[in-house]
Structure 1
Amino acid sequence: TSPQDMLPRGFEYHNGNGTLCLIGSYEKEGHVFTEEHDQSIDYGIDFYAPQTVLTPDGRRVMIGWMQNWDTCNMRSQPKTWFGQMSLPRELSVREGRLYQKPVRELEELRRNKVEYHGVKVAGEALRLAGIEGRTVDMELEIAPAQGRELCRKFAVRFAQDQERHTAISFRPHESILKIDRKFSGSRRAIIHQRRSLVRHEGGALRLRIVLDRFSAEAFVWDGEQVLTATIDTPLSADGISFYADGEAVLDVVKYDLM
């Protein structure tokens, strides 16, 4: 459902005009639904009014409107389009929680695999050869360096050039993941960031980030949470870099989407 003007509850429902799902049990004969859990569907900036379809092979697939009500009138000229739809997402429920994964057919568009394992990230932004682009499917595993304290912050920056970038950052001491587009090229004081409380395993976190020219969708722990945002950054800004305040170890697998 897509309620409007909601008050936040902890780290849930910060969009005001957001989306939520109700999970519970349904008794068919009496048509009685018993709610057992509720949660945000998307923890990012731009996601509203999702619709679902049932595929012939039995998958429940959802697509959302990748926009938020507070930026509807801020169309930048001279683009001939405004707004877009999210990736189709396969839905499932595990242990009373909604999970979302990019529809499996997306993997058929993957090309040019590049991977690194055990890369130490510390201090200044790190660029890796072959890790760049604006139509990208990228899997990250972030972990503490062996024998070292948890880093204070880890960030991946994308759609990046000398002036612009969008970032997804993780603070393990606070268990907070944030998407932030304030340096993406926006010329207005619009909604630029959202934070989500995430689960981590001793400071380790797994992310899948899908970039589609003017959008980013970040899937946490195989879809346990998702953060979505649109960006208005020139396509020439195609850099990707990694940063740690402290020290972290990174595994990354990146594909171009063709």
Structure 2
Amino acid sequence: METEIQLRNQIFQRLIDYQHQDENRLAFHLTPPIGLMNDPNGLVYYKGKYHVFYQWNPFDTNHTFKCWGHYSSSDFIHWEEHPPALVPSEWYEKDGCYSGSAIVHDSKLYLFYTGNVKTTEGGRETYQCLAVSDDGVHFEKKGPVIYLPKGFTPHFRDPKVWKQEDKWLMVIGAQTEELEGLTAVFASNDLINWQWQGPLAGNGVSLSKYFGYMWECPDFFSLNGKDILIVSPQGLEAQPFQYENLYQSGYFIGEWDSKTNKYVHGTFHELDHGFDFYAPQTFEDPNGRRILLAWMGMGDEQEQTHQSIKSGWIHSLTIPRELTVKDGRLYQKPIEELKQLRNKARSEIFSIANEEKEVLFDSELQEIIIDIEQFEGNKWEIQIHNHCKLIFNRKDSIVTLERQNFNHSKLETRQCKINKIDNIHMYLDRTSLEIFLNNGQIVFSSRYYKKTIKNQCLISVEGKAKLRWKNWSLYSYQYRNDTLKKVVF
């Protein structure tokens, strides 16, 4: 097993040697400098900066190696890259530093994460571990603080920690020995010694009732007077208008009694209906906002056909989103800081009747807001860069996102039900598209690789519509690796 110094030197050399620039690199999303990025980890505000850690394989574009990459920012726009916070160098993490969370306590930054170990017999061991920092960049590992409890398989990971009243709480994604997914709860007075509280209970019974065979990346918090559990269940069967991706991410809204650990909640709702969204994590910022980032990727059969792999990297994170509760649902909207990206603006009001209108852009990087002031007809479509298409079928109350798959061999769709669309808010960043409908009621996040360099939207209407259109070309904060001292995006 290689030492931590050896691994860090290898990663450092990979970054120094990497010089390739490509047309697919995103301009205002967090992407890996090289290799594979997946789950966001340890979202936290510490010593005047927002910190975003993430699962990172700096050696390849697959999931064979896992360490924690690290960015920080004072404004969510300009980001600094730091050396990896965690690399798998100890016995309890030798096969990967898996996902987790961060908290601030006594002016120190605490990282909780899962240490993954593969045994010589082909099995797996899992340990919930702790590392502590005085400066937010250099971490001292403290080792395991939770071992696998009885009744669970080693698929037991992704600790999320928070403080409630006078004690610390932790939720962990888990799989029972009966191969059912659920969320486990622990409590602590000192962040070192943790006591098992049981599974998070819902409506008096296990939350799962076989709702998937594994629950990953749990997140539990209060917002607008409601207790919300975000989780990524694996093993849900696809149904019309939901669960169409390989794995899902969504939430329950309810009320939790911390004394009895009883969680009474509503049904599960997906957070995002696009092709590429998984493993979301949230944190509360100093202004009391609940901010979410997610992995804008999906480890499905298309993963290794991403065109960016030719340039030595793959995947990104979503833009940061502020969460609110409205009408019993979570709404997501781009955070206010992203308005700093706005450059050249254009606005107009136009009417369309059984025709097509072309809107040309002077840049690949766009923020677009469309208010639909009037729509009388059967259907409207918005085609983006002659590649992705957003379609609303009024008669059937269905909204569809259509794209060509990554090798452009076929069309594929994601759909959900919605009665009416009044507002469309989109962010386009070279090879990514994020769509917020009705001020964040429904969201679609997707990567794409266009065949044409023409930057345009084509709007067509069966019937007639009146649209209030605004768009901004966005600034690009491009970056290059400079011995791990760089400002990005």
Scaled by the length of structure 1, the TM-score of the pair is 0.86
Q: What residue in structure 1 maps to residue 304 of structure 2?
A: 73
Q: What residue in structure 2 maps to residue 179 of structure 1?
A: 401
Aligned length: 243
Q: What residue in structure 2 maps to residue 112 of structure 1?
A: 344
Residues 126, 207 of structure 1: CA spacing in aligned structure 2 closer, same or farther, 3 A cutoff?
Answer: same
Q: What residue in structure 2 maps to residue 221 of structure 1?
A: 438
Segments of 5+ residues of structure 2 without an aligned counterpart are 1-230, 476-489
Q: Tell me the secondary structure at the aligned position of residue 471 of structure 2.
A: strand
Q: Tell me the secondary structure at the aligned position of residue 14 of structure 1.
A: coil
Q: Is the 8 A contact 2:379 2:461 kept in 1?
A: yes
Q: What residue in structure 2 maps to residue 154 of structure 1?
A: 380
Q: Tell me the secondary structure at the aligned position of residue 295 of structure 2.
A: strand
Amino acid in the other structure paired with 1:152: N
Q: Is the 8 A contact 1:24 1:37 kept in 2?
A: no
Q: Tell me the secondary structure at the aligned position of residue 107 of structure 1.
A: helix
Q: Does 1:195 align with 2:409?
A: no
Q: What residue in structure 1 maps to residue 227 of structure 2?
A: none
Q: Tell me the secondary structure at the aligned position of residue 114 of structure 1.
A: strand
Segments of 5+ residues of structure 1 without an aligned counterpart are none
Structure 2 CA distance, aligned partners of 1:192 and 1:228?
Answer: 14
Say which of 457, 463, 480 aligns to 1:246.
Answer: 463
Cα drift, residue 59 of structure 1: 1.3
Structure 2 CA distance, aligned partners of 1:116 and 1:232?
Answer: 29
Q: Is the 8 A contact 2:242 2:415 kept in 1?
A: no
Structure 1 CA distance, aligned partners of 2:303 and 2:310?
Answer: 16
Q: Tell me the secondary structure at the aligned position of residue 2 of structure 1.
A: strand
Structure 2 CA distance, aligned partners of 1:235 and 1:22?
Answer: 41
Q: Is the 8 A contact 1:7 1:16 kept in 2?
A: no
Q: What residue in structure 2 maps to residue 140 of structure 1?
A: 370
Matched-pair identity in %: 26
Q: Tell me the secondary structure at the aligned position of residue 227 of structure 1.
A: strand
Structure 2 CA distance, aligned partners of 1:217 and 1:53?
Answer: 21
Q: Deviations over 1:83-128 (max 9, x none)?
A: 11111111111121011111111012112221112x1223443124
Q: Does 1:126 align with 2:371?
A: no
Amino acid in the other structure paired with 1:78: K
Q: What residue in structure 2 maps to residue 57 of structure 1?
A: 287
Structure 2 CA distance, aligned partners of 1:137 and 1:171?
Answer: 24
Structure 2 CA distance, aligned partners of 1:153 and 1:108?
Answer: 34
Cα drift, residue 35 of structure 1: 1.2
Q: Is the 8 A contact 2:394 2:419 kept in 1?
A: no
Q: Does 1:97 align with 2:329?
A: yes
Residues 240, 52 of structure 1: CA spacing in aligned structure 2 closer, same or farther, 3 A cutoff?
Answer: same
Q: Is the 8 A contact 1:134 1:235 kept in 2?
A: no
Q: Deviations over 1:188-239 (max 9, x none)?
A: 44x7210111131xxx521101111111111011111101110112572311
Structure 2 CA distance, aligned partners of 1:132 and 1:246?
Answer: 29
Residues 75, 10 of structure 1: CA spacing in aligned structure 2 closer, same or farther, 3 A cutoff?
Answer: closer
Q: Is the 8 A contact 1:45 1:192 kept in 2?
A: no
Structure 1 CA distance, aligned partners of 2:382 and 2:238?
Answer: 27
Q: Does 1:85 align with 2:317?
A: yes
Q: Does 1:233 align with 2:450?
A: yes
Amino acid in the other structure paired with 1:187: H
Amino acid in the other structure paired with 2:431: F
Scaled by the length of structure 2, the TM-score of the pair is 0.47
Say which of 409, 422, 427 aligns to 1:210.
Answer: 427
Amino acid in the other structure paired with 2:287: D
Q: Tell me the secondary structure at the aligned position of residue 152 of structure 1.
A: strand
Q: Deviations over 1:61-81 (max 9, x none)?
A: 111111122222223363332
Structure 2 CA distance, aligned partners of 1:57 and 1:91?
Answer: 13
Structure 1 CA distance, aligned partners of 2:449 and 2:282?
Answer: 27
Bigger Rg, which one: 2
Residues 233, 5 of structure 1: CA spacing in aligned structure 2 closer, same or farther, 3 A cutoff?
Answer: same
Q: What residue in structure 2 maps to residue 2 of structure 1?
A: 232
Q: Tell me the secondary structure at the aligned position of residue 256 of structure 1.
A: strand
Higher relative contact order (CA 8 A, sep 6+): 1
Q: What residue in structure 1 maps to residue 391 of structure 2?
A: 169
Structure 2 CA distance, aligned partners of 1:91 and 1:17?
Answer: 22
